Structures are given as structure tokens and as C-alpha cells.
Amino acid sequence: MQLDIVVGFFLLGALAQLVRSDLRLPTGLYQSCVIFLLLAIGLKGGAALSTYSAATLVPQSLAVLAFGALLPLLAFPVLHWIGKWSRLDAAATAAHYGSVSVATYAVAVALLNSHGIEYEAYFPLFVALLEVPAIVVGILLARQSAKDAGTGKLFHELTCNQGVLLLLGGIVIGAWAGERTASVMPFFGQLFHGVLALFLLEMGRVAAARLRDVKGQGAFLLSFGIFMPLMGGVAGGVLGSLLGLSAGGVFLLAVLGSSASYIAVPAAMAVALPQANASVSITLSLAITFPFNVLVAIPVYLAFIQHWS
Amino acid sequence: MHKSQLYFGASVGLLVMFVGWTLTLAGIVAGALMAVGLLVLLANVGYWFASRSRRRIRVDIARQERQPGRSQRRKY
């Protein structure tokens, strides 16, 4: 099992928080890293998009959308009936697990690149697509109509949040520019690993800061935060195989199924389900699932894919 | 902690350990997965016993407060 070098920065950030160091990435720099990563992923995917036909992309995109809607339906019964959570909290948290984490995806892409494993270059499209259906399903599970939450505001949050906007924007620019993206690629391509390392340094610190909340919430949080990414990962891997993706593609879809959102969905849930306990959802996805994915699940998925293929 | 949560957590822990063990047998290094499974299992069992002992303490306190002699002694 091999960990990518960027994971070392994640561990360093976590260690800095645990020893109460004053290490902290300036907010502006952290924001810049987020913007850079989203645009870099989007541009690369967009540039590759023009080489694929709609006949390939449309059925796969529909399958991925259905996958995004299915994951919260898997998470909700566990949280509501086994965890005895309220319907509202269970639905809001389930939505987090149906959506994806771009940072987890970036770590997976970095690992594939360092191992020289090929994958379908249009994957950023799937990342953007997977942001939305889980939020809709989460709201429906909470049985709170979008009208109550303010349809306009919710739609705005769904489509215009930073993550979706930059990712889709990058894809559109990349698809439009095609080979001309080569002029910006020295910046967005070669600096990708370095910026990801900086981003993960801060993420490690933030995740470790939330560990205290995990202790207070009990063991169920830990169990669910480990169970759900594995179920999502298996489901994603199976779907990737059924769609006939390459080994790298199957791996990436497993990682996307495994990841949980902690940026886009919390923002949307704050609008749609403001009464839900946001702290518990973010703690779960950020302090348990994200480190588990980066440190354990992603290397195991990769080893499995390499062994399988 | 609810019993259903304990059963779920213990099942997840055992399942993850089993998957990690199976993958290791198949030649895929998954020791970390086994370790995580063990951690989940131990955390659930630990929380269960901790919550049971807390509940027992609460019951004892309530019983003591119901006994008039003891409450008199506490009052004066």
C-alpha cells in the first residue's frame, strides 16, 4: 500500500494541530488553493471532453447522476433507524454522503498520475454532476419541500456555489479552448501537486481540530464514517465496471462514491434545511471520512485495482 | 448509546477487519484496513461499557435520593 507524497502534508497539518502549533494557512491562500484546484481539474477535464462523443458521455452521465441519488438512500436508513437520528439530521447527513469531495478526488488523481495509470479524462464532469442529486434527495428525505426552503435561493446555491461554478466553468473553458489550454497548463498542470500539498496541510489541521467533536458524539459516528465510504466505494467500483471504464476510471468512481462533501453540501443544506445539525455532518465527513479515504481507502482501492487488472 | 448502534458498530468493525484480512490473504496490502476495523470494534465496545456504567451511576443516585433516611441525612 503506497501513500502519495501529498498525504504527508495532510499528516503534517494534523500533527501541527495535535501538538497545538500555531501553524495556519492564511484564509486568502486557502481560498486561492481551492480555486486553483477546482479550475485545474475542470480545465483538464474540459480539454479532454471534446475528444469523446455524446453517445459515450450521455449514458454514463445519467448513470452517475442516478448513482449520486442512490447513495443518500443507502445512508439515510442507517442514520435514521440504526443511529436513531432525527429524520432531518439523517437526511442532511445522507446528502453529504451522496455528494463528493473535490479534495479527495484530487488526491486520487495525484496518485493515478504518480503511478502513470490512465483514466477517462472527462471525470471532472462526473465530479460536477455528483454535487447536485444528493442535495435534492436529501431535501426530499427530510420531507421539506423546496418551496419552504425558498426554491430560488436553493437553486442558486445548487448551481452557483463556488465548487460547481468553478468546476463547470473550467470544463466549459477547457472544452471551448481545446488544445489552446496548453498555454495555461504550465500553471494549472505542473503546479497541481504543490498546491494540493498546501491545501492538504490546512485540511489536516482542520480535520484534527474536529477530532474532539468526534469523541463527544460517540462511537456511532466513527462506525458510520467508516462504513459509508466503503459501501459507496464498492458501489462506485461496481458501477465503473458495468460502465466499462478503464481501471483508473473504476478507481476514480470508487473514490467519488467513497467521498463525502464538506463544502458544497453544507452550504446548500444551510439554505434548504437550516434546522438540521450542520456540525455533526461536517464533523463526520471532514474528521472521519476524509482522513479515512486519504490514508486508508484510496491506497487500498488502488492496490485492489492494480491487483485486479 | 443504543443497542442498535452497538450492533451496527461491532458489525462494521468485524466486517472491515474481515475485508482487510481477506485482501491481505489475496496479496493486497490492507493492514491499515484491519487496524481501522479493530479500532471501530474497540471504540464501540468501549463506548458501550462507558455508557452502561454512567447509566448505573445515575440509577444509584436516583435510588439514594428516593430513600428518606439518606435524603434526611443529606439535608441536615
Q: What pLDDT, in 10s, does the model give residues A113-144? A: 989 999 998 898 898 888 888 888 888 888 65
Q: Do A222 and B39 touch (CB under 8 A)?
A: yes
**Is A255 within a domain?**
yes
Output b/e per residue, B58-75; b: 16+ Cβ within 10 A: eeeeeeeeeeeeeeeeee
Across the A:B interface, residue pairs with CB atoms under 8 Å apart total: 79
- Confidence class for position A283, pLDDT limits 50, 70, 90: confident
Number of structural domains found in chain A: 1
Instruction: Kindly report, residue by residue over A27-71, the tens digit of the pLDDT.
Output: 899 889 888 988 888 888 888 877 777 777 889 999 999 999 999
Mean pLDDT along residues A201-220 = 80
Cα A73 to Cα A247: distance, rounded to the nearest angstrom: 27
Structural domain contains residue A20: no
- Residue pair A103/A41 in contact by the 8 Å Cβ criterion: no
Q: How confident is the model at residue B74 (pLDDT cuts 50, 70, 90)?
A: low
Parent domain of A126? 5-13+25-308
Q: Which comes out higher in pLDDT, residue B75 or B18? A: B18
* Residue B31 contacts residue A294 (beta carbons within 8 Å): no
Q: Which residue has the cell 477535464?
A: A45
Is A226 within 8 Å of chain B by CB?
Answer: yes
Question: Taking the CA of residue A305 as centre, how many other CA atoms within 13 Å lie in the half-sphere pointing to its CB?
Answer: 31
Single-letter amino acid code for the residue at A36: F
> How many Å separate Cα B26 from the centre of its chain?
32
Task: Check residue B27 and give left, alpha or beta (phi > 0: left; psi -120 to 50: alpha).
Answer: left
Smallest CA-to-CA distance from A279 within A96, A150, A21 is with A96
Examine residue A52 and state whether it is found in any structural domain, yes or no.
yes
Choose among B4, B9, B39: nearest Cβ to A84.
B4
- The alpha carbon of residue A126 is apart from the nearest alpha carbon of chain B, in Å, by 27
Percent of chain A with pLDDT over 70: 94
What angle is formed at CA A81 by the lines to CA A76 and CA A84, rounded to 5 degrees? Answer: 105
Of the candidates A102, A91, A118, A136, the residue with the CA atom closest to the CA atom of residue A259:
A102
Mean pLDDT of chain A: 86
Q: DSSP labels for A31-42?
A: HHHHHHHHHHHH
A173 within 8 A of A46, measured Cβ to Cβ: yes
DSSP assignment, residue B29?
-
Q: Taking a contact as any Cβ pair under 8 Å apart, which residues of chain A between 27 and 86 contact chain B?
A: 78, 81-84
Backbone angles phi, psi at B28, to 5 degrees: -100, 125
pLDDT of residue B1 exceeding 70, the answer is yes
Mutation target for A interface from B28, B45, B55: give the one with most A CBs within 10 A: B28
> Can you give the pLDDT at residue B46?
92
Within an 8 Å CB–CB cutoff, is residue B38 touching chain A? no
Residues in chain B within 8 Å Cβ distance of A1: 28-32
User: Which pLDDT value is given to residue A96?
Assistant: 92
How far is the C-alpha of A182 from the C-alpha of A170, rounded, in Å?
Answer: 14
> Does residue A199 contact residue A103 with C-beta atoms inside 8 Å?
yes
To which residue does cell 443504543 refer?
B2
CB-CB under 8 Å, A303 with B32? no
End-to-end CA distance of chain A: 16
Quote the cell numbers at residue B39.
Answer: 479500532
Residue A249 pLDDT level (bands cut at 50, 70, 90): very high
| E-state strands within chain A | none
Nearest CA-CA distance, residue B60 and chain A, Å: 23
Query: What is the per-residue pLDDT across B36-45, written as a single tens digit (0 to 9) for each?
Result: 999 999 999 9
Per-residue pLDDT tens digits for A180-193: 888 998 899 889 88
CA distances from B3 to A75, A87, A93, A156, B9 (A): 19, 19, 21, 42, 10
Interatomic CA distance for residues A171 and B39, integer angstroms? 41
B28 Cα to chain A: minimum distance (Å): 6
Helices (H), chain B: 3-25, 31-66, 68-75
The CATH number linked to A145 is 1.20.1530.20
Residue A280 lies in a domain: yes
Distance in Å from the first CA to the final CA of chain B = 37
Structural domain includes residue A19 = no
The whole-number average pLDDT for the span B45-64 is 81
Look at residue A18 and tell me if it is in a domain: no
Out of A83, A292, A303, closest to residue B36 by CB? A292
Amino acid at B52: R
The per-residue pLDDT for A117 is 92
Whether A146 shows a pLDDT value over 60: the answer reads no
| Contact (Cβ atoms closer than 8 angstroms) between residue A16 and residue A209 | no
Q: Please indicate, yes or no, if residue A248 is contained in any of the structural domains.
A: yes
Q: What pLDDT is recorded for position A196?
A: 87
Contacts of B46 in chain A (CB under 8 A): 219
Segment A286-291 shows an average pLDDT of 90
A295–chain B nearest CA distance, Å: 9
Mean per-residue pLDDT, A265-280: 80
In a domain, residue A78? The reply is yes
A161-179: per-residue pLDDT in tens?
777 788 888 888 988 888 8
Answer yes or no: do B12 and A227 touch at CB < 8 A: yes
A64 contacts A124 by C-beta, under 8 angstroms: no
Per-residue pLDDT, averaged over A13-21, amounts to 91
